[in-house]
Amino acid sequence: MKHLNIGAFCLAAVVSLSGETAKAESVEQALRGLQPSSVIEYTRMVGGQTTLWSEWPWQTALYRMSNGHELFTCGGSLVAPGWVLSAAHCFGEESTDNPADWTVATRIGKLTPVGLPLDAETRKVKRLVVHEGYDKKSQENDIALMELAEPLPEPLIALQLEPDPVEESHRSVTVTGWGLTRWLVSKQDKTGHVVFFDGATNDPVDFKKFETPDLRKAEIPLVEVDQCARAYGNGVQKIDGRNLCAGLSQGGVDACQGDSGGPMMAKSAAGEWRQIGVVSWGKGCALAGYPGVYTRVSAFNAWIKNVMSGDDVAAGSDQSPSAPSGPAGAADTASGESATDPAHENPAGVMIAFKEGDDLSVGQRVAYVVTTQRPGYLTVLDATPDGKLTQVYPTAGSLRSPGSPTPASALIHPGKPVAIPDYRNPYRGFDVEITEPRGKGVMVALLSDKPLTSFETPQAPKTFASPKEGVDVIHRLRDELARSLSLQPKSSTAAPWSVAYHAYNIR
């Protein structure tokens, strides 16, 4: 994020944006937010989680000398024994381009905002190279390299210098840093003293309460760059193929003030960490509808290699032959494939599909078929091609026996496929016939340990009148799932539900 030096900490300035309001969340995006990882982040990872430097030994802290004091300013990453990668804006206004004023610290147990940490390993900076095309207004080319006076022996983070599937939208990425745990803004009072306010509520706050001496990490999903650009509208900031964007649609998790210049990382197909982005800027921190904006490392392949010339940069580019090539954000979001770990998102092994296949015709009569490896209470939702939400199951008419609906009616068991509707059952209550419009849809099966109560049980499948109404229903469901986490034993790491997605096409 854009930085502003205030007191002992380099704070992110609020990005002033003109333009249209963020694009409304789609039904499919909301459905993706039902994944256990997304809900856990929504409830347990606000502001990130404390982590150890030994997990991320390439993470560095940048300190600048000012009025005789070393001030923590930004994050960075060790990408070669003598080189640190960071953001250009860390060296902009009210800063200095004199390399002698900068010190890089690593192996930090507890970060100190003023003065170098006593337990850290430090190196002075010999050369500072800010991208020659960096524009502080548009935030284009927000990347910089620091050459150290002496190499650091720490493990390196491999740079993703070529386009790769790890950059695809909806993939989970990790961001680390010592930034503030809340979005703050600063103002000068009448006496000239700097005072701080909560960026969301404008309430005065004690700045020190939101500093953290501990390195923190946050997991967030990548967002399509085009969607990100639309969210920010027609402001002066530029978002294009040189960027990556990431964040939860509902907000709550994000890099924040002080995280600038730090690494955005993703795991390769081989399970190795790669740096794919550099923390750059955004509107506030963790605001709903405004993803964080990052500098895309692979877009600066030639620049990085040219600056470092003869030095070996840790690089990774083992692209899977079967993986799509091309820029991030080109993935088909209706593919039905989850980019996160199936063992975590779907521990019950739930599967859903149309009995008649994935390629359907208008007028065709169909049935959803669900199987599971564990017992649980079933909910079926459908993001139909018109962008609306259909609540398919449970419904009063989907009972496999006559009588009033009860919570037990939605209980399914392993090895017993459930057809909705079951055309062999005379009490099925309704038919499902494919109707216009043609296009792609995504169905979702959610299996929970307990019956869900956040929505009504209609007589037959219900299509909500507008996408917004459907999104509201999904958010109520997500909130119920979030509350269920508090009932889990503290030692439990598994969410009490599973989610499966499956795409189809109407021609």
One domain, residues 369 and 471: yes
Judge whether 296 lies within some domain. Answer: yes
One domain, residues 410 and 451: yes
* pLDDT band with cut points at 50, 70 and 90 for residue 15: very low
One domain, residues 236 and 275: yes
One domain, residues 406 and 454: yes
One domain, residues 360 and 502: yes
Judge whether 437 lies within some domain. Answer: yes
342-349 long-range contacts (CB < 8 A, ≥24 apart) are: 344/36, 344/37, 344/494, 344/495, 345/35, 345/36, 345/37, 345/498, 345/499, 346/498, 346/499, 346/500, 347/374, 347/494, 347/498, 348/372, 348/373, 348/374, 348/376, 348/447, 348/498, 349/373, 349/374, 349/498
Q: What is the CATH number of the domain that holds 470?
A: 2.60.40
Structural domain of residue 135, as residue ranges?
Answer: 56-148
Q: What is the pLDDT of residues 348-405, one digit of tens each?
A: 999 999 999 999 999 999 999 999 999 999 999 999 999 999 999 998 876 544 555 5
One domain, residues 163 and 270: yes
Tally the domains of the chain.
3
d(Cα 474, Cα 31) in Å, to the nearest integer? 7
What burial class does residue 460 get, using C-beta atoms within 10 Å of its C-beta: 0-12 exposed, 13-18 middle, 19+ buried? Answer: middle
Q: In this model, does residue 314 exceed pLDDT 80? A: no
Which pLDDT value is given to residue 205? 66
One domain, residues 135 and 163: no
Q: What is the pLDDT of residues 412-425, one digit of tens each?
A: 999 889 999 988 88
Query: Which one of 97-101, 122-126, 423-427, 491-495 scores highest in mean pLDDT?
Result: 122-126
One domain, residues 170 and 126: no
Q: For the whole prediction, is pTM greater than 0.85?
A: no
Mean local confidence (pLDDT), 171-190: 73
One domain, residues 206 and 113: no
From 148, 177, 204, the end of a domain falls on 148
Q: What is the pLDDT of residues 280-312, one digit of tens each?
A: 988 766 577 888 899 999 999 999 999 998 665
Q: What is the CATH number of the domain that holds 215?
A: 2.40.10.10
Judge whether 337 lies within some domain. Answer: no
Q: In this model, does residue 261 exceed pLDDT 60? A: yes
Judge whether 375 lies within some domain. Answer: yes
Mean local confidence (pLDDT), 74-100: 84
d(Cα 465, Cα 471) in Å, to the nearest integer? 11
Judge whether 334 lies within some domain. Answer: no
Judge whether 480 lies within some domain. Answer: yes
Catalytically active residues are 89, 142, 260
One domain, residues 346 and 414: yes
3-state secondary structure of 389: strand
Question: What does the chain come to in residues?
Answer: 507
Judge whether 3 lies within some domain. Answer: no
One domain, residues 162 and 280: yes
One domain, residues 118 and 176: no
When comparing pLDDT for 399 and 54, which is higher?
54
